[in-house]
Every structure is written in C-alpha cells, then in structure tokens.
A and B are shown apart, each in its own frame.
Chain A
Amino acid sequence: MKKITLLIALFTFAFGTAQAKEWKQIRIGVEGAYPPFSQTEEDGSVTGFDIDIANALCAEMQAKCTLVKQDWDGIIPALLGRKFDAIIATMDITEERQKKVAFTNKYQHIPARFVALKGADFVATEEFMTDKKVGVQRATTMDLYISDNFPAAKIKRYGSADEAYLDLKAGRLDYVMADSAAITDGLLMKEDGDKFAFVGPELNDPQWFGYGAGIAIRKQDTDLAEQFNKAITAIRANGTYQKIQDKYFTFDVYGAE
C-alpha cells in the first residue's frame, strides 16, 4: 500500500511539473525568405524583424532559444511534428489555422496589398481580375484571399515571395499580393524597384487576414503561450519592441492595442 501511495505521489509529481513547466529551452521555427521580417544572409544566418522579436522575447523569458529555418508551406506540419516548439514568422492568426495550432496574442499587424508595374490598372472586381496573372506565396492568407475572391484569375503560387517578385520583374505576372511591408522591402526598395508601385487599397478583412500575426504553438502548450504573451507585453512596455520596430519600419507595425 505504501509503495502504491509513493508511486502515485511520484506520478503526480512528475506529471504536475510537466504541466506547469516553465520553458527554458525553446526551438523556434522561422522562414528566412520574407524580408524584412525574416531573411537569410550570405553566411546562412537569419536576420530580420521576426528574428529580432524572437531574440528579444527569449531574452525577456530568460530562455535559451534555437532558431530553426523551415520553408513556409511546411512550417505548420513541422511544428505539429515537433521539429520546433513555436513559429515566429509573421503568421496571421486565422480561424483556419486555429483548427491546427494555437496562437499567442498578436505581435504585429500589417495590411496586405497588391503590387504591379507603375501605372498598371487595377480594379478589385471579379470581372476585372479574370485571366489576370496574380502571384502569391503558397499557403498564405493572401493565397486564400485571392483563391476565394478571384477564382477566375490565373493564380500562380510560389514557395516564397522572392520567387514571385522575380516573375513579376520578368513580366510573367500582372500582380503580386503580399504583406505591404514585405513588398516594400523585398521589391520596391531593391534594384529596379522603382518600376513598381502598390495598387488598390490596404487589405485587412479579418475573414481572410485574421487579427494580426501571432506566435503559433501546439495547442497543448498553453503554458508556453502564456509565457510568450507575458514577454510580448513586457517588451512592448519596456521599449524593446519600439527599438526593433524603428530598425525596420518608419510606421507602427503593431496596430491598435
């Protein structure tokens, strides 16, 4: 009897600590092909807004973080497959994704936009968009938005936004749709970027674009979400967030509180 009580006590102990565990080692999945949020440098390291935010959050939580690079369209399966514990990759919080993963509070909110050759026409109607060639990164909120709203357009899906910019420059595409900040940094400010300009309005309909970008984690890791949420609030309050934002953007990327 004594032994059994001991066993039960041990079990509760082991289980109890596992549940209220404070995460000290966190592997974070990042993309590395979505400047200025995440880009791969010549030496193979990743830099960018997401990366700086990840590092700031880890410092705030006093956790040891490892960044793991992962292609975008496999990033959620990789999280679920325990290749890493969290995704910090400008991932919009949407209902479709919430079926698979949980999100922390948002850490930024940037509208999506279309970009095209300077002077190009653009009307956001199904009729106008018929047979127009639109490039978009596969598995993004933009991909869903275009698929749902302009099914008659010729939608070209790419593994990364960079490839879509290449084809826009080559004249294979009429429009590319992406995060406005990503377009600014990845296309407009690069070589030959002055030939292109935004068209149409800023798009942030929550039905497709969700409620800003959050950190995705596995559904059962609620303690980790809690930890991240506290850290987000903390770096917002102590000015670290502001400092990182100013390094990359001239506008407020957090949006309304």
Chain B
Amino acid sequence: MDFSIIVNEYQFYLEGLWTTTWLVALALLFGLLIALPAGILRSHENWLIKGPIWAYMYFFRGTPLLVQLFLIYYGAAQFDVLRESWLWYYFQEAWFCALLAFSLNTGAYTAEIVRGVISTMPAGEVEAAKAYGMSRWQTLRRIILPNSLRRALPAYSNEIIFMIHGSAIAGVVTIVDITGAARVVNARYYAPFEAYLAAGILYMCLTFSVIYAFKLWEKRYQHI
C-alpha cells in the first residue's frame, strides 16, 4: 500500500475532478432543457408530436450509456458525409461526443420523471385552475409545473447521482475524468487499489455534495 503516489499525481486527479464536474453539470443542464418539453409533450394527444418523443425516450432508456457513447464517438466517424461537414469540428472532440451522449441519455430519463409527476397531478387542482378561467398554458405554468417539479426532486437527485457515476465511462474515449485519472495513475504505477480508491473517494465527495444540496432544497419546500 503506497498512497504517496496519489499525493504525487494529485494534479491528474484535480484535472479529472474538474472534467467530471463540468461534463456532468453541462449534460444535466442540457438534459433538463430536453426533458421539460419532452416530458410535457409526451402526454400530447397528437401522435406526430408524442411519437418521436416516445421513440427518443425508448431508445435512450433502452440501451446502455456505453453503447450510446460508442455509437456517437466511433460510429459517427464512419460516415464521410459527417466527416466532411462542419459538424465534424465538434464530433472530432471526445468531450463533445461524451457531452452529447450524456445529455441525450439523462434527458430521456428525466423526461420520464417529468411525465410521471405530471400524470400523477391531483385532478382537483387542474379542474380548479380551469374553473378560474386559466388557459392551458397558464395552468401549466402556474399550477402543474410548480407542483410536479417539487415532487420530482427526490427522483431527480437520483438521476443526478446516476449521471455522476455513469460519467465514469467517459474515460473509454480518451477523456481524463476522475476514472481516467485513476487509469493513468494505475497504468504508471501498477497500483490499482490506491489509484481507484482515490477515484472512489472523489466520486463520493461529489455525490454527497449533491445529496446535501438536494436535502436543503427539499427542506425549503416543506416550509412553504
């Protein structure tokens, strides 16, 4: 057991921590931007609207994140059309492919959470809004969303944690995230226990910060 190597190579881990943090944070932000409209429109009557959303959610919840990442990173490079277009400027970067895969993945899961909480909305509240003469948009904005999103918090905090842990696969496409840092250190010193334990501790710190933040947030709502 030799933990001095972790201390010596701390800059790898710091870099990895930073990469994991911004990658996951941006993916969650984009995911949320996808999930809100997708989750709401998922219950739309028109098949032309809910069909594509259903297909998107079905695909991204039905396949492993690793497969999605491989499809986007190695799969996209196979098409000359893409490689010769301006899009390749982004697709050639590993971070972009990872961000895209992560955003679409968490977007699909979060959309399902949004759909779930909206469909379990107390019918009385919606009817009351209608009785007040609110339009559909007003009902959505004033009644449905505030109520359902509050109830979505516990499930969503879970999704964030899954995303943090799921991001560990970014390393397979050369990104040096926390796991990537551990692999570099392990590769150099052949000390898997020390290298991955340090990574585990960093993930734990990240996860507990998220759990703590959500606890505070949920508490705030209880007092309203």
Which A residues fall within an 8 A CB radius of B? 73-74, 76-77, 80, 96-97, 99-100, 135, 138-139, 143-144, 147, 156-159, 163, 166-167, 169-172
Contacts and interface: CB of A to CB of B under 8 A. Distances in A.
Contacts of A135: 174
B180 to A, nearest CB: 8
A171 B83 contact: yes
Given A171-B83, A172-B92, A74 B172 contact: no
8 nearest interchain CB pairs? A139-B187, A170-B77, A156-B174, A100-B190, A77-B192, A76-B190, A138-B187, A172-B92
Given A73-B186, A97-B190, A135-B174, 10 more contacts: A73-B187, A96-B188, A139-B187, A156-B174, A157-B184, A157-B187, A163-B74, A167-B174, A170-B83, A170-B92
Contacts of B94: 156, 172
Interface in B186-206: 186-188, 190, 192
B115 interface: no
B184 A138 contact: yes
26 contacts: A73-B187, A74-B192, A76-B190, A77-B186, A77-B192, A96-B188, A97-B190, A135-B174, A138-B184, A139-B188, A144-B188, A147-B188, A156-B94, A156-B174, A158-B174, A159-B172, A163-B74, A166-B77, A167-B77, A167-B174, A170-B74, A170-B77, A170-B83, A171-B83, A172-B77, A172-B92
Contact of A143 (B92, B172, B187, B192): B187
A156 B190 CA distance: 19
B42 interface: no
Instruction: Categorize the interface residue count of chain B.
Output: 10 to 19
Contact of A73 (B77, B174, B183): B183
- Residue from A77, A97, A99, A169 with most neighbouring chain B CB atoms (10 Å): A77
Contacts of A167: 77, 174
Nearest to A137: B187
Contacts of A170: 74, 77, 83, 92
A148 to B, nearest CB: 10
Interface string B52-92: 00000000000000000000001001000001000010001
B44 to A, nearest CB: 39
Contact of A171 (B74, B92, B186, B187): B92
Nearest to A101: B190
B174 A166 contact: no
Given A156-B174, A171-B83, A166 B74 contact: yes
Interface in B82-108: 83, 88, 92, 94
A144 B94 CA distance: 22
Nearest to B180: A157
A170 B92 CA distance: 8
Contacts of A171: 77, 83, 88, 92
Contacts of B77: 166-167, 169-172
A166 B92 CA distance: 12
